[in-house]
Amino acid sequence: MLPLNKQVGFFSDAYCLEWTYAKALLVRKQLARVLAERIEQKQFSFDEATAIARSILYESPQGILGMVPRQSG
């Protein structure tokens, strides 16, 4: 197992922008499904599952890849 700070929730071999977007949607839906199952099985609380999703989809890409959220404006 990898620690959360070493996981990135998306990797793609897509060669066009449209497929990259579609694959990102698939990854998010699958992650949501798995985490929902873990909540139902009482393996994670809702807050734990939310923290895991945030780490994998938001915080890890920033730390590992140096990605920075766009500034709204």
Q: For 25-73, how does the pLDDT look when each residue is reduced to its tens digit (9 = 90+)?
A: 888 999 999 999 999 999 999 999 999 999 888 888 788 878 787 887 6
Residue 51: predicted pLDDT: 94
CA-nearest of 72, 65, 52 to 4 is 52
Q: Evaluate if residue 13 carries a pLDDT over 90.
A: no
- CA–CA distance from 60 to each of 23, 24, 41, 49, 54 (Å)? 18, 15, 26, 15, 9
Q: Evaluate if residue 7 carries a pLDDT over 70.
A: no
Residue 20: predicted pLDDT: 75
Q: Evaluate if residue 23 carries a pLDDT over 70.
A: yes
Residue 38: predicted pLDDT: 97
